[in-house]
């Protein structure tokens, strides 16, 4: 089959690789219906050291089950499934707590250990725990939004949950990438009254407003902090969704939280320490977050996707075949595309 292999920063190739096979009796193999490129794929795209073997990329997909191992009980051949970006057994203490990204037998797709989904097919470890079956088919028009439940929409929702978004409260979303945009959807869905998006790309801002953003702040640093304060009676917001991962974004996030507020961070951090420790301390700001347990959120979010109440699939503004994936990375990295969908 054909798959996306990254060899080093900027070096993404489409290559013929071995078809995925059942290795463990708890595995499944799915034929990928849709996959996509994640903002977090851009970190290795910018920084990865050269690897001779390369890494099959991609951790977001929906697809159809082609094969299951002998011990797979719930998932069946022909099932149409959502593949969360982390695999999990569904049975350990952390899976029971709804934190499948910390599953004691779990791990992540698109890593050196487990091949990714920007490919024609993918092997799914612990299929019964990992996959969410949607039955046998789904409406073509719903595919993009269903795909977002594998990561980006669940991640935006996680930021909102950790930031304690509540009805009637004020929210700021730091970052206008696909996760930030889904964070706006999540904040609106959870009843926030004021939603301030911090971003500067006209197309993304327009989409954020469609999704429910009430205010836009396009400055950065101190100017952004001042603007958010001005929009919130001088206090700052109750909840901040940090969807970037860079030091400046985190400093801004903490500075715009009102005393007693919370920051939900889902941007993959690029530093070893959390910036803004002192202002967070003196303002009693709660800082939390991490990889979103999207597997736990599918059940919550799916009805609103199926009923069309939320349309997170609108974050995809470009669709490519498998051969177009390297150009998709380039386009996302150059901010020419918000998020690229792959139709193998
Ligand atoms: Zn587990």
The closest alpha carbon to 251, from 259, 240, 260, 238, belongs to 240
Question: Quick one: which H or E segment has residue 251?
Answer: helix 247-256
Mean predicted confidence (pLDDT) in 285-301? 97
Distance in Å, CA 88 to ligand 1 centroid? 5
**Taking a C-beta distance cutoff of 8 angstroms, is the pair 188, 160 a contact?**
no
Distance in Å, CA 52 to ligand 1 centroid? 32
Task: Output the pLDDT for position 267.
Answer: 87
Distance in Å, CA 276 to ligand 1 centroid? 33
Distance in Å, CA 271 to ligand 1 centroid? 28
pLDDT tens-digit map of 229-262: 999 999 999 999 999 888 999 999 999 999 999 9
Instruction: Give SS3 for 171.
Output: strand
Mean predicted confidence (pLDDT) in 266-294? 94
Q: Please determine, for residue 220, whether its predicted confidence score (pLDDT) is greater than 80.
A: yes
Q: CB neighbours of 337 closer than 8 A, spacing ≥ 6? A: 317, 318, 328, 331
Distance in Å, CA 95 to ligand 1 centroid? 4
Distance in Å, CA 104 to ligand 1 centroid? 5
133-142, 166-175, 321-330: lowest mean pLDDT where? 133-142
Distance in Å, CA 93 to ligand 1 centroid? 6
Cα(106)–Cα(268) distance, integer angstroms:
19
Distance in Å, CA 97 to ligand 1 centroid? 9
Distance in Å, CA 100 to ligand 1 centroid? 6
Residues measured by CB to lie within 5 Å of ligand 1, the ion: 88-89, 92, 95, 103
Distance in Å, CA 102 to ligand 1 centroid? 7
The closest alpha carbon to 213, from 180, 251, 243, 235, belongs to 180
Phi, psi of 26 (to 5 degrees): -95, 5
Distance in Å, CA 290 to ligand 1 centroid? 17
Distance in Å, CA 105 to ligand 1 centroid? 6
Q: How many residues does the chain have?
A: 344
Distance in Å, CA 293 to ligand 1 centroid? 11
Residue 136: pLDDT band with limits 50, 70, 90: confident
Mean predicted confidence (pLDDT) in 128-141? 90
Tokens representing 215 are: 């205010």
Q: Please determine, for residue 268, whether its predicted confidence score (pLDDT) is greater than 90.
A: no
Q: How many CB atoms lie within 10 A of CB 265?
A: 26
Task: Output the pLDDT for position 139.
Answer: 87
Q: What is the chain's mean pLDDT, rounded?
A: 96
Q: Please determine, for residue 272, whether its predicted confidence score (pLDDT) is greater than 80.
A: yes
Tokens representing 2 are: 């054909």
Indicate the burial class of 109 (C-beta count within 10 angstroms; 0-12, 13-18, 19 or more). Answer: buried
61-70, 134-143, 164-173, 328-337: lowest mean pLDDT where? 134-143
Cα(283)–Cα(301) distance, integer angstroms:
32
pLDDT tens-digit map of 26-66: 999 999 999 999 999 999 999 999 999 999 999 999 999 99
Task: Output the pLDDT for position 271.
Answer: 86
Question: Quick one: which H or E segment has residue 265?
Answer: strand 257-265
Distance in Å, CA 291 to ligand 1 centroid? 15
Distance in Å, CA 124 to ligand 1 centroid? 15
Task: Output the pLDDT for position 335.
Answer: 92
Distance in Å, CA 127 to ligand 1 centroid? 12
Distance in Å, CA 130 to ligand 1 centroid? 9
Distance in Å, CA 89 to ligand 1 centroid? 4
Q: Please determine, for residue 305, whether its predicted confidence score (pLDDT) is greater than 80.
A: yes
Task: Output the pLDDT for position 135.
Answer: 86
Place of tokens 């191992």: 69
Who wins on pLDDT, 136 or 181?
181
CA 216 to chain centre: 22
Distance in Å, CA 129 to ligand 1 centroid? 8
Distance in Å, CA 292 to ligand 1 centroid? 14
Distance in Å, CA 90 to ligand 1 centroid? 5
Q: Please determine, for residue 205, whether its predicted confidence score (pLDDT) is greater than 80.
A: yes
Distance in Å, CA 284 to ligand 1 centroid? 33
The closest alpha carbon to 62, from 85, 89, 38, belongs to 85
> DSSP letters along 185-235, please?
HHHHHTT-SEEEEE---HHHHHHHHHHT--EEE---HHHHHHHHHHHTTTS
Distance in Å, CA 99 to ligand 1 centroid? 8
Distance in Å, CA 14 to ligand 1 centroid? 33
């Amino acid at each position: 089959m054909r798959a996306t292999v990254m060899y080093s920063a900027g070096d993404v190739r489409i290559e013929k690789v071995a078809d995925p096979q059942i290795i463990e009796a708890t595995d499944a193999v799915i034929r990928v219906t849709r996959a996509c490129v994640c903002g977090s794929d851009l970190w290795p795209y910018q920084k990865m050291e050269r690897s001779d073997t390369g890494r099959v990329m991609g951790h977001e997909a929906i697809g159809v089950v082609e094969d299951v191992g002998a011990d797979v009980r719930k998932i069946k051949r022909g099932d149409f499934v959502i593949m969360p970006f982390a695999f999990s057994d569904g049975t350990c203490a952390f899976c029971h707590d709804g934190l499948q990204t910390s599953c004691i037998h779990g791990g992540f797709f698109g890593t050196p250990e487990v091949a990714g989904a920007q490919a024609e097919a993918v092997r799914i470890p612990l299929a019964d725990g990992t996959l969410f079956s949607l039955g046998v088919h789904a409406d073509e028009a719903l595919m993009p939004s269903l795909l977002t439940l594998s990561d980006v929409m669940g991640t935006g929702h996680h930021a909102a949950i950790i930031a304690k978004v509540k009805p009637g409260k004020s929210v700021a979303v730091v970052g206008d990438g696909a996760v930030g945009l889904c964070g706006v959807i999540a904040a609106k869905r959870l009843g926030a009254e004021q939603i301030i998006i911090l971003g500067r790309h006209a197309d993304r801002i327009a989409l954020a407003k469609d999704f429910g953003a009430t205010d836009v702040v396009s400055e950065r640093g101190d100017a952004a902090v001042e603007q958010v304060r001005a929009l919130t009676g001088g206090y700052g917001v109750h909840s901040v969704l940090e969807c970037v991962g860079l030091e400046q974004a985190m400093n801004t996030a903490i500075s715009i939280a009102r005393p007693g507020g919370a920051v939900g961070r889902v941007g993959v951090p690029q530093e070893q320490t959390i910036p803004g420790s002192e202002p967070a301390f003196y303002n009693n700001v709660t800082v939390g977050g991490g990889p979103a347990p999207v597997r736990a959120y599918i059940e919550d979010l799916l009805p609103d996707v199926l009923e069309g109440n939320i349309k997170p699939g609108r974050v995809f503004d470009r669709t490519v075949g498998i051969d177009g994936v390297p150009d998709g990375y380039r386009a996302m990295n150059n901010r020419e595309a918000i998020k690229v969908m792959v139709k193998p």
